[in-house]
Chain A
Amino acid sequence: MKHTISVLVENKFGVLARVAGLFSARGYNIASLAVSETMDPTISYMTIVVDAQDEKVLEQISKQLNKLIDVITVTDFTKKEHIDRELLLLKVEYSAKDKQKLENLLSKCVGKIIQAKADTAIIEAVGDQAQIRQLLEGLSGLGIKELVRTGRLAITY
């Protein structure tokens, strides 16, 4: 199952490689990864989504992350009440007759057409996992030319 883990780290060079190395050394693929500065510019916040078959291995990774000198805290969101979101930018095939259909789809998450030129529209959309899945299924009939995603972000209460 997919786990969302957040890691608060020192904002220094090499830290991302240390964190990523713990996953790769065990043959784990990181499904998504988002890194940014926090309110305190000396600290960075990483949100990592990983597909872990074995809970014990994940527990190990979590403990090993904690052992890294530059890691301040590790949180596994899976067992916690939390909100998660992901931002998508899409380039889709577009004609004026699709506008209504597209807007209906986008209304189910937070989304809008940013720009539409000739036969192409650029869309942004924000939502949780279910909303994003639904949107992508809906859009598949319209022809997605390009898709970029931020990866999942999560926050607890």
Chain B
Amino acid sequence: MLECLKREGVEVVFGYPGGQILPTFDALYGYKGFKFILTRHEQGAAHAADGYARVTGKVGVCLATSGPGATNLVTGIANAFMDSIPMVAITGQVPTLLIGNDAFQEADITGITRPITKHNYLVKDAKDLAVIVREAFYIASTGRPGPVLIDLPKDVQVAETEFIWPEEVRIRSYNPNYGGHPGQIKRAAKLIKESKRPILYVGGGIITSGASLELLELAEKINCPVTWTLMGIGGFPSLHKLSLGMLGMHGTAYANHSIMDADLIIALGARFDDRVTGRLDKFAPNAKVIHIDIDPSSISKNVHVDIPIVGDARQVIAELIQEIKHGPAVDEWLKHVEALKKKYPMGFKDKKKILPQYVIQQIDEVTNGEAIICTEVGQHQMWAAQWYNYAQPRTFISSGGLGTMGFGFPAAIGAKLGRPEKTVFNIAGDGSIQMNIQELGTCVANKINVKVAILNNGYLGMVRQWQELFYKRRYSYTPISSPDFVKLAESYGALGIRVTKKEEVRPALKKAIETDNTVFIDFHVEEEENVYPMVPAGEAINNILGGLA
């Protein structure tokens, strides 16, 4: 097993031992082929593997025992599945003869993970193992990526067999399609040239396929404004003049108004999620849609598509650029978009207390927009998406599809191991950080230097915001207490800093970055600040609450 992982180029495995995976851990004892990181919870291992995969583009690997070890991976696997992250999860299983007997620490993990993996395997014979590992890595990393689980019974772990490494992988029923259909690309190019108000709407597919440079070239060639989803952040430089920022529920008002006014939407590696489109029958009523996606099942799922193109975003954009000699006449449209930007600027009203948006801006300035920013899920996540100026792909690491609180901290561990030269921040809420806070132990024990900025408002803020706006301020179980984060960090051997005044924000951040240790910064921020702009769920996306306008 270990030799297989090494041959797949694995650099680091995250995991936790247990009874039914003992033989594999015995082989890991003193093993030098790759690094092993012992997390404090299997969920942490899965998210760390996920974070590693997101920053490197390589397959993340996690390892756990049977039963509870395996079920603790489930949230992490589902998270990777929803965001199309390449991951291989390996679990121990009770010996083959005991499977189905309700043996101690037995769980049918292939059954449990069937709807949340791209594929999974129960290895019944050691001689199949090498082929299965190769297939698993191949399936996880090609086409639309995703997690693959390998369940390994204890007797198979100790069985002896001749090691035969298959040189190539061939699966007759799995042939991902990368090149777009040439006829469709010609039709798309024609539609682009004829459009008067085009908009590029880009998602995680841009990051996955590594298409940022091609996207920039296409946008500049046809002079087309670009808006992105949460998963698309970093795919296009935030400060570019054609940039509209994120769209959707907490997107910029001008991005939402622009897409509603567009006559052509060029969707690249995005899936028209409900948080993006708002009320579907009111979404972009005058626009034709070109939809480019590697996954045919994403196309025409939510909105009507005029020109579907199944293929890899990077290849298809390159082919489109070849096909378009000169862009459409869009001067009027760009003027209109510029006017929308002026009419509905992003902003927040300054207050005496520390505002969470201000903290993010300061992190942006102190790190020069070059850090890797991981997030948990909630208000802080949206502020981190809105107020940091991302310039590079794979620098915003966030749970988009599943919305997993507790993701960010372990993901930051994986991110730091994948890109050790980068400053890695986890932007957290006081609620989310407490969901996987045990990983402080992993950080300190392995000297993994991540900075955790807790925007502490004493609430489960996003739910509180909904309660304020839609449930008559009935704050049902959203006020939440926290430990003393400074003392907690110190007790683990990390550095803790508490910040209660605005003028302390910047010095605290500087100190955190200069410290060669894990740092928790507990920012006491304005308690009832809301994330704006906001489109209420189920409303048209130009029906926007709040913001400065």
Q: Which residues of A contact B (CB under 8 A)?
A: 9-10, 13-14, 17-18, 21, 25, 59-60, 63-64, 66-72
Which A residue's beta carbon lies closest to that of B135? A69
**Interface-facing stretch out of B182-190, B294-302, B388-396, B473-481:** B294-302
Q: Is the CB of B118 within 8 A of A69?
A: yes
Q: Is the CB of B115 within 8 A of A70?
A: no
Shortest CB distance A13–B (Å): 8
Cβ of A10: which chain B residues have Cβ within 8 Å of it?
Answer: 173
Question: How far is B271's CA from A135's CA once the two chains are assembled, in angstroms?
Answer: 49
Q: Contacts A70-B173, A71-B173 known; A63 to B114 CB distance under 8 Å?
A: no
Shortest CB distance A73–B (Å): 8
Question: How far is B84's CA from A157's CA once the two chains are assembled, in angstroms?
Answer: 39
Q: In the complex, which of the residues B118, B171, B172, B297 has the most CB atoms of chain A within 10 Å of its own CB atom?
A: B297
Q: Contacts A14-B110, A63-B297, A64-B297 known; A69 to B115 CB distance under 8 Å?
A: no
Q: Is the CB of A67 within 8 A of B173?
A: no
Question: How far is B110's CA from A63's CA once the two chains are assembled, in angstroms?
Answer: 22
Shortest CB distance A139–B (Å): 41
Tell me whether B174 is interfacial, beta carbon within 8 Å.
yes
Q: Is the CB of B173 within 8 A of A69?
A: yes
Tell me whether B260 is interfacial, beta carbon within 8 Å.
no
Shortest CB distance B121–A (Å): 9
Question: How far is B174's CA from A11's CA once the two chains are assembled, in angstroms?
Answer: 15
Q: Which residues of B contact A (CB under 8 A)?
A: 110-111, 114-115, 118-119, 122, 139, 171-174, 295-297, 300-301
Question: How far is B119's CA from A17's CA once the two chains are assembled, in angstroms?
Answer: 12
30 residue pairs from A and B, CB less than 8 Å apart: A9-B173, A13-B122, A14-B114, A14-B122, A17-B111, A17-B114, A21-B114, A21-B115, A25-B115, A59-B300, A60-B297, A60-B301, A63-B296, A63-B297, A64-B297, A66-B296, A66-B297, A67-B297, A68-B119, A69-B118, A69-B119, A69-B139, A69-B171, A69-B173, A69-B174, A70-B119, A70-B173, A71-B173, A72-B172, A72-B173
Shortest CB distance B116–A (Å): 11
Shortest CB distance B29–A (Å): 33
Question: How far is B119's CA from A21's CA once the two chains are assembled, in angstroms?
Answer: 13
Which B residue's beta carbon lies closest to that of A42? B172
Question: How far is B289's CA from A102's CA once the two chains are assembled, in angstroms?
Answer: 60
Which B residue's beta carbon lies closest to that of A61? B297
Question: How far is B92's CA from A58's CA once the two chains are assembled, in angstroms?
Answer: 37
Shortest CB distance B152–A (Å): 16
Q: Is the CB of A67 within 8 A of B295?
A: yes
Cβ of A60: which chain B residues have Cβ within 8 Å of it?
Answer: 297, 301
Question: How far is B297's CA from A67's CA once the two chains are assembled, in angstroms?
Answer: 8
Cβ of A59: which chain B residues have Cβ within 8 Å of it?
Answer: 300
Question: How far is B115's CA from A71's CA once the two chains are assembled, in angstroms?
Answer: 15
Shortest CB distance B262–A (Å): 24
Question: How far is B171's CA from A9's CA once the two chains are assembled, in angstroms?
Answer: 12
Cβ of B174: which chain A residues have Cβ within 8 Å of it?
Answer: 69
Question: How far is B100's CA from A13's CA once the two chains are assembled, in angstroms?
Answer: 14
Give me the 3 closest cross-chain CB pairs, A-B, nearest first: A63-B297, A69-B119, A72-B173
